[in-house]
Amino acid sequence: MPNTKNILIVGVGGQGILLASELVAKVALSKGYDVKQSEVHGMAQRGGSVSSNVRYGDVVYSPTIARGEADVLLSFELLESLRWLEYLSPRGVAIVNTQRIDPMPVASGKAEYPKNIEEKLQQKSHALYIIDGQRLAEQAGHIKAVNVALLGVLSTILEFDEKVWQTAIKNRVPAKTVDINFKAFNLGREAVSRN
Amino acid sequence: MKKLLSGNEAIARGAFEAGVDIAAAYPGTPSTEILENVATYKEIYAEWSVNEKVAFEVAFGAAVGGKRSLAAMKHVGVNVASDALMTASYTGINAGMVLISADDPGMHSSQNEQDNRYYAKFAQVPMLEPSSSQEAKDFTKLALEISELFDTVVMIRMSTRICHGKGVVQLEDRVPYMKKDYTKEPAKYVMIPGHARKRHVIVKARNAKLKEYVENVPVNIIEKGSSDIGIITSGVSYAYAREALPDASFLKLGMTNPLPINKIKSFVQDHQTVYVVEELEPFMEEQIEAAGLKVFGKDVLPDVGELSPELIRERILGVKTDVPQNGELPGRPPVMCAGCPHRAVFNALRKHRTTVSGDIGCYTLSTLPPLNTMDSCLCMGASIGMAQGFIRSMDKRKADRVVSVLGDSTFIHSGIPSLVNAVYNQAKITVVILDNRITAMTGHQENPGSGKTLLGDDVKPFDFEAVSRAIGAGYVRTVDPIDGMELDRVIGEAIEYQGTAVVIAKRPCVLVEPNQFPGIMKIDKELCTECKLCLRVGCPSISIHDGMVTIDQNLCFGCSLCQQVCPQDAIHRITS
C-alpha cells in the first residue's frame, strides 16, 4: 500500500533486535496506525542472522517488506547491513551500527569479512547514518542499551514525537533500567545532529 | 481494547475468550508460544505433554469429558499425533476441541515443509486458516463453535509468518464455558470394528453437512475488485496477494476444508482469469480443477518455499523488482552457543571416529563446520532406531562405532521405545543422551527432566539413568561433559561395550545457568603458537584475525573446552 511505512531491523541473534522492533510497532500502534511486525524466532539466540519487519499505515496486509521497499534499514551490525541492503528503497535511509561480529566462517579463518562496507552503503542509500552504538550505550551506562540508542537515531527520521517513544520504552523495559534507556535514547537523537 | 499480538498470542487469547479450560502441547517452532501464553491465563489448565500424540490425547480426553480444549503443535508434530487424530475424527467430541497445526513454509526451523492442510482432508475434519492475528483469535472461537455444531475436532492451520507476525487485535472478555455432562457411550468412544464401521458412515454424513455449511460461513469472503483478475487464496498467502494485487478481486477463504465449491464456481465464472494463490502444495487448486473449473496456480507460482508480495507481483503481473546484487557475503549460520555443554560431546565423538546417528535439537548444529559430526537427522527420536539399522547394514569397522545422540526432551518424546527395542533386539550401539535439563532449542521449556511443569509446579525429575537401567541397557554412565578426560574414557568404554550402552552427558544449558563456570578463558599470546586447535572446537567466542587467535571476553562463559585441547597450555582461566 502506497502510504505504508516499511522499517527493516537487522543484525545478529542476541543484539536486542526483537525488542527494538516491538517498540517501533508499539509507538505506531499508539498513534492509531494499523501495524504488522514480523520476524522469525527459533534461531535468534544462536548467533544467526536476524531480521524483523515493521510496517505501519492505514491498512497493512503483508507482514513482510519486499526488496527495494524499505524506507529505513536499521542495522545493528556492519556485515548484516550489507546482507539486507537490497531491501532498502533507493529513497531510503540506512542507520548502521559500527559493531562488527564475525560469523563462524570468518572467525574460523575460512572466509573474509567484507571490506569498504561504508562505501557500498553510501552508494545505495539516499541518506546514511553510521553510529557507534556501543559507545553511546556505554555513555548511557550499560552496553545492552545499544538497541535503544539506535532507536533514538531512528526516532529523528520517523514522524512520532519524543514523548510517545519515551512512554513505549518506559512501559517495556525493566523499571531499574528506564533511566539508562532514556539516556541512551537521547544520546542516539543527539548523535544525528552531529552526524 | 486493542493490543499488538502475535498470531500465537492471539490463539491463546482466543482460547481464553472462548472458555477453553484445558490446553496441551509439545514445544516446536513456530507453535511454542501458544501454550506459553495460554499458561498466563490462570483460568486454563495448561501442560507441556511429553510429545504431540499425548498432548492431542490429553486435549481430546478433556473434550470428551465435557470441557473445551486445545492442542497445539508444529506441523511435523501432527505426524506424531496423527494416529489419534485419524480416529478422533470417527468418535467426534463432546465439548469443543481445536487442534492447532503450525506449519513452517520455508523451513525457518524445521526438517521439512509438509503442507498440513492435507491432514484436514485426510482425517476428514474441518479446517480454518487465519491470515492475521485478529483472525487467529476470531477463528479459534469459531473453530470451537464448529467443533460442537458438527461433533468433530476442528483444525486451525497456521504458518510461521502468522504465528510470529504481530498485528492489531481487538480484545474481548472471557465467556466461561458451561461444562457438558459426560455420559458413557461405548458405541461412540470405543472404536472396535463394529462401532467404527457405523461411525465412518456418520463421518461421511457430517462431511455432506459441512459442505453445505461452508458455502455460507462468514469467514469466506468476496472482496470485489476488477473482473479481469480473480484471486482465490487463504492464510498468509491472502496477505501477500492483497498487497501485491490491489486491483484484483478476491475470494478469501477462511475455511478451506471442505472447500465451498459452489461459491468458487460462481467466482470463477465472474472473472476473466482466476489464480489460486497458495503456499506450498496445490491443495485448493487440484480440488477446484477436479470440479471442472479452469484456474491458474502452480503453473505460475512455486510449490516450494514461502510466497511474498514481490513474487506474486512478478509471476502474475509480470512486474519484476530490480534490485542491485551485493555479491557473495560470508554466511551467518546459527551456531552452538559459547559455553554449550553439547560441544564437548561432539569433540569427543569426532575423536573416537564414530558414525553419529543424530536427532532434533540444538545439537543438530554440530552438523555444520567446524564440528561436522552428525551423519543423520530425520525426525524426533529417530537417532536410536536408525542406529539399529546402521549396525546391521554397515561394514563391521563402522558398525562397531555407531553412536546415537539425542537430547533429554527428545529422549522422553520418542526415544524411550527405541531404546527398549535396542535392548530387546540386542543392538550393540551407544546412546548418548545430552541432558541439559531443559528443552533448549525451542526457547527453554520445562520437561520431565527439569522437574518443573508449565504451570510452575515442582515434580520429581525424570531419572535418565534409572530408566535406562530399568529398560535393560547393560552399560549406563552419567558424565559431566566438561570433564574432558572422563567423558573421553566413558565414551571409549561405551563404544567397546558389547551391547546397548547409554551415556548421559549431564550439564545445564549455559543460557539457563550462565554463571556455572568460575571465570572466563584468555589466551596467553606469549605461549600461543597459533596451531588453531582451539578453533576446531567450534566456539563462537574464539576467532582468528591476521593470524592471531583471541577469545571474545563478552562471549566466553568459561567452559574451558578450548583449554582442554590446547597443547601449549596457553589458555588460562581468569577470574575477576
Q: Which domains does chain A have, with CATH numbers?
A: 5-194 (3.40.920.10)
Mean pLDDT of chain B, nearest integer: 96
| Grid cell for residue B466 | 534409572
Low-confidence winner among A103-117, B67-81, B163-177, B447-461 (lowest mean pLDDT): A103-117
Per CATH, B220-317 and B520-574 having the same topology is answered no
Interchain proximity A109–B511, CB inside 8 Å: no
Q: Which helix (H) or strand (E) holds B90?
A: helix B75-91
Question: pLDDT tens for residues B37-51?
Answer: 999 999 999 999 999
Cell numbers linked to B317? 503481473
Residues B367-393 have pLDDT tens digits of 998 899 999 999 999 999 999 999 999
* pLDDT for residue A44: 56
Contact B337 A82 (CB under 8 A): no
- Distance (Å, whole) CA B192 – CA B27: 32
pLDDT bin (cut points 50, 70, 90) of residue A42 is low
Q: Quote the CA–CA distance of B346 and B358 in Å, as a whole number.
A: 11
In this prediction, residue B404 has a pLDDT band, given cuts at 50, 70 and 90, of very high
- pLDDT of B450 strictly over 90: yes
Q: What does the alpha-carbon distance between residue A47 and residue B541 come to, in Å, rounded to a whole number?
A: 11
Overall fold of domain B520-574 = Alpha-Beta Plaits (3.30.70)
pLDDT in the model for residue A14: 82
Alpha carbon distance B70, A155 (integer Å): 41
* Average pLDDT estimate for B83-89: 98
Is B308's Cβ below 8 Å from some Cβ in A? yes
* Minimal CA separation from A179 to chain B, in Å: 24
Q: What's the CATH number for B220-317?
A: 3.40.50.920
Nearest CA in chain A to B537: A108
Interchain CB contact of B289 with A (< 8 Å): no
Least confident of A69-78, B539-548, B561-570: B539-548
Could you say which residues from 3 to 62 on chain B have a Cβ atom under 8 Å away from some Cβ of chain A? 4, 29-30, 33
Among candidate residues B456, B457, B463, the one with its CA nearest the CA of residue B411: B463
Contact list, B313 vs chain A (CB under 8 Å): 66
Report the alpha-carbon distance of residue B317 to residue B243 in Å, rounded.
Answer: 13
Q: What is the mean pLDDT of residues A81-89?
A: 95
The helix-helix angle for B416-424 and B382-393 (nearest 10°) equals 30
Contact predicate B189/B133, CB 8 Å: no
In contact, B437 and B403? CB cutoff 8 Å: no
Q: How confident is the model at residue A146 (pLDDT cuts 50, 70, 90)?
A: very high
User: Angle, nearest 10°, between helix axes A146-155 and A133-140?
Assistant: 110
DSSP SS3 for B218? coil
**Per-residue pLDDT at B513:** 96
Q: How close, in Å, is residue B357 to chain A by CA atoms?
A: 22
Q: Which three cell numbers stand for residue B371?
A: 564440528
State mean pLDDT over B400-428.
98
Domain positions in chain B are 2-216, 220-317, 342-506, 520-574
What are the pLDDT digits (tens) for A161-175?
999 999 999 999 999
Confidence class for position A2, pLDDT limits 50, 70, 90 = low
Give me the CATH topology for the region B2-216: Rossmann fold (3.40.50)
B542 CB-near residues (< 8 Å, 6+ apart): A107, B534, B535, B549, B550, B551, B552, B562
Q: Tell me: pLDDT of B183 over 80.
A: yes
Residue B349 DSSP SS3: helix
- Between CA B575 and CA B160 the distance in angstroms is 43
Distance from CA of B335 to the nearest CA of A (A): 5
What is the average pLDDT across B149-178? Answer: 97
The domain over range B342-506 is classified in CATH as 3.40.50.10090: no
C-alpha distance from B273 to closest chain A C-alpha (Å): 23
Per-position b or e across B461-473, b if 16+ CB within 10 A of its CB? ebebbebbeebeb
pLDDT at B425: 98
Of A26-30, B523-527, B546-550, the range with the lowest mean pLDDT is B546-550
Cell of B477: 554412565
A2-6, A73-77, B229-233, B362-366: least confident range: A2-6
To the nearest whole Å, the CA of A49 is away from the closest chain B CA by 6
How confident is the model at residue A3, as a pLDDT?
85
Looking at residue B3, its pLDDT comes to 95
**Which pLDDT score, from 0 to 100, does residue B493 have?**
98
Q: For cell 587467535, name the residue.
A: B549
Judge whether residue A195 has pLDDT over 90. no
DSSP-derived letter for residue B314 is I
Task: Give the A:B interface size as CB pairs under 8 Å.
Answer: 162
Q: Which whole number is the average pLDDT over A119-144?
A: 94
How many helices, marked H, and strands, marked E, lie in chain B?
Answer: 21, 23
| pLDDT at A79 (0 to 100) | 96
Q: What local confidence, expressed as pLDDT, does residue A48 receive? A: 83
**Chain A residues within 8 A of B511 when measuring between CB atoms:** 45
Sorting pLDDT into bands at 50, 70 and 90, what band is B321? confident
Closest residue in B to A103 (Cα–Cα): B332
What contacts B549, CB < 8 A, 6 or more positions away? B523, B528, B530, B532, B534, B535, B542, B543
Residue B195 pLDDT more than 70?
Answer: yes
Other CB atoms within a 10 A radius of the CB of residue B174 amount to: 15
Is residue B545 pLDDT above 90, yes or no?
no
State the average pLDDT over residues A3-18.
Answer: 92
Q: What is the pLDDT confidence band of residue A107, given thresholds at 50, 70 and 90?
A: confident
For residue B368, give the chain A residue with the closest CA: A104
pLDDT score recorded for residue A13: 84
Residue of B nearest to A77 (CA): B332
